[in-house]
């Protein structure tokens, strides 16, 4: 029995119907956009995300990786790295016709879905640069990790149990990190303009925003 078959056997009929409707990366993103943004400091496995209909960026990316796996994609995640004055941000990756795209849950409008039009992961990561900022209007994206395939955690039942997500989180801290900006360039970045700032925070949950001064 595959991990997703095990997952589906645990679903109620209504939950199975919801999963069966996630027939494309865009529909997976629409599901994540429709559920509440979690401000909790713990992780929810994909089964719990589906049942409680709430997630933060880590939960959302892991859920999306599971849903993309059902469509035939490997369950890949990638961590976008900040300058230390913002949250990191997790993406679920997919590839179509040799081009990368992403699905993500975010409190910010611009840090969610990406169409599969990016030739490599650096291009994909850089597509988030202008929208990746904190509440002090600083552009904070500085790097990204290599992709992590969650199939290596199948023996821990990561799709149906919360506990393995701590293992996944720790592994994202250990894998290769790629810098996007040299320090001198980062020091010259301009602050985010007012219109972009307000647009990016449309619909945000204020309790889930990173506070760099604390």
Q: Is residue 179 within 8 Å of residue 83, measured between CB atoms?
A: no
Q: Residue 25: what are its φ and ψ, rounded to 5°? A: -55, -40
CB 65 within 8 A of CB 164: no
Q: pLDDT truncated to tens, each residue of the chain (214 aa)?
A: 777 778 888 888 888 888 999 999 999 999 999 999 999 999 999 999 999 999 999 999 999 999 999 999 999 999 999 999 999 999 999 999 999 999 999 999 999 999 999 999 999 999 999 999 999 999 999 999 999 999 999 999 999 999 999 999 999 999 999 999 999 999 999 999 999 999 999 999 999 999 997 6
Contact by Cβ (8 Å): 138, 155:
no
Please report, for residues 32, 66, 104, the alpha-carbon distance to residue 37 in angstroms, rounded to integers and kept in the order given.
9, 19, 12
């Amino acid at each position: 029995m595959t991990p997703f078959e095990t997952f589906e056997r645990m679903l109620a009929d209504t939950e199975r119907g919801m999963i069966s409707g996630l027939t494309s990366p865009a529909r997976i993103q629409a599901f994540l956009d429709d559920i509440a943004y979690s401000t909790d400091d713990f992780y929810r496995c994909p089964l719990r995300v589906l049942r409680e209909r709430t997630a933060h960026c880590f939960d959302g990316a892991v859920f999306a990786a599971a849903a993309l796996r059902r469509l035939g994609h490997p369950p890949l995640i990638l961590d976008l790295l900040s300058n230390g004055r913002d949250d990191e941000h997790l993406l679920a990756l997919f590839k179509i016709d040799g081009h990368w795209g992403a699905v993500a849950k975010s409190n910010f409008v611009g840090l969610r879905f990406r169409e599969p039009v990016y030739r490599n992961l650096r291009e994909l990561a850089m597509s988030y640069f202008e929208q990746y900022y904190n509440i002090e209007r600083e552009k904070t994206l500085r790097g990204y990790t290599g992709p992590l395939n969650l199939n290596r955690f199948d023996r821990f039942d990561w799709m149906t149990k919360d506990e393995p997500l701590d293992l996944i989180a720790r592994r994202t801290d250990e894998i290769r990190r790629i810098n996007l900006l040299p320090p001198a360039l980062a020091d010259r970045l301009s602050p985010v303009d007012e219109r972009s700032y307000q647009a990016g925070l449309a619909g945000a949950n204020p309790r889930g925003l990173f506070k760099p001064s604390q």
